[in-house]
Amino acid sequence: MRVLIVEDDELLAAGLVRILDQTGYAVDRVNSGERADLALSSESYDLVVLDLGLPGIDGFTVLKRLRSRGQSCPVMILTARDDVADKVRGLDSGADDYLVKPFELNEFEARIRALVRRGTQMNSSQLSCGDLLLDTLSHRAWIKQSPLNLTAREWGVLEYLLMRQGQILSKDKILQAVCNWDENISPNAIEVYMSRLRSKLEPAGVNIRTIRGFGYLLEAGDGA
């Protein structure tokens, strides 16, 4: 899952990036309203964490421009402004959540998980296909109750495929979802991850089909 953090406080931003990166998200960060607007108009994100008091255009303007383009990704406003009028304005402008600084990290993480579930229409933290079960909260996976060992990158790719099972996903979409700006991974690397996942998922009755010219499709096998 790919997240954009819009925050001009260097220390806070670094902490948020570290927390989300350790959780398994691909995280990008900008420190001004203009840069946020540019990133959001050119990239696709599963979640935006947005400060209001930004250099240049403020967070309200960034949010309004995002929604005016028809982009529906969940947005959490993260700000020191605790006035009720600001909360109402933020939610009425299209924010999905409003968290006031200072905040507890466990509450922040819980709200992030809730917004991601809402954005991907997940009803719980568990994803399944065939005999494969993946828990996005505990970051554990099983095949027929036997633990499945995955690298961080394999986990990211598999989670993305499971959240969109039945859809054909291009290499570019997968790369965009699991990599941030600082990572330089070629489309050929996706083929390597798919090969590894196919081997690991074979006992689960899960197929990752290559649709030539279009991308990959995850589905349960005939015997699953």
Give the mean pLDDT per block of 10 residues along the chain (224 residues). 91 92 86 94 90 93 94 92 93 94 90 79 74 85 91 87 88 82 77 92 90 90 57
**Are the C-beta atoms of residues 191 and 118 closer than 8 Å to each other?**
no
CATH 3.40.50.2300 domain range(s) in the chain? 2-119
Please report the pLDDT score of residue 190 as a whole number.
87
d(CA 202, CA 206): 6
Query: What is the SS3 assignment for 133?
Result: strand
Q: What is the pTM of this model?
A: 0.70
What topology is assigned to 2-119 in CATH? Rossmann fold (3.40.50)
Residue with tokens 């109402």: 88
Please report the pLDDT score of residue 224 as a whole number.
44
- Nearest CA to 154 out of 201, 204, 215 is that of 201
CATH 1.10.10.10 domain range(s) in the chain? 126-220
Query: In terms of CATH architecture, what is 126-220?
Result: Orthogonal Bundle (1.10)
- Nearest CA to 94 out of 70, 122, 113, 110 is that of 70
